[in-house]
């Protein structure tokens, strides 16, 4: 699979699952980006699910667990903290 084909598959999977992912507890965003492993960016593209904080599976309701793959595409859960809008004067 070429990089362009891979990116198109990622976009299609993100579009198909974004609304469902955004309804899950702790999720604040869904995008496409690079997977992180051990806090370091890799070169692997993935559907990135941004959460307030990572939580142990035991603390999540079954419907709030983020799958490792969607439509055969890798999913990476990345903590971003609470998002707040602000403006400056």
Model confidence pLDDT, tens digit, residues 33-84: 999 998 899 999 999 999 999 999 999 999 999 999 999 999 999 999 887 8
51 Cβ contact partners less than 8 Å away, ≥ 6 residues apart: 26, 27, 28, 66, 77, 78, 79, 80
In this prediction the pTM is: 0.89
- Lookup result for tokens 């960016």: 41
- Band (pLDDT 50/70/90 cuts) for residue 87 is confident
pLDDT score recorded for residue 55: 92
Q: Which domains does the chain have, with CATH numbers?
A: 3-79 (3.30.300)
CA dihedral 51, 21, 36, 10 (to 10 degrees): -150
């Amino acid at each position: 699979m070429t990089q362009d084909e891979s990116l198109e598959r990622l976009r299609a999977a993100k579009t198909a699952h974004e609304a469902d992912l955004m309804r899950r507890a702790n999720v604040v965003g869904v995008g496409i980006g690079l997977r992180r492993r051990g806090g370091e960016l890799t070169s692997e593209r993935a559907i990135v699910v941004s959460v307030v904080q990572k939580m142990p599976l035991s603390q999540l309701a079954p419907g709030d667990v983020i799958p490792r793959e969607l439509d055969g595409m890798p999913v990476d859960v990345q903590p971003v903290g609470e998002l707040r809008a602000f403006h400056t004067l």
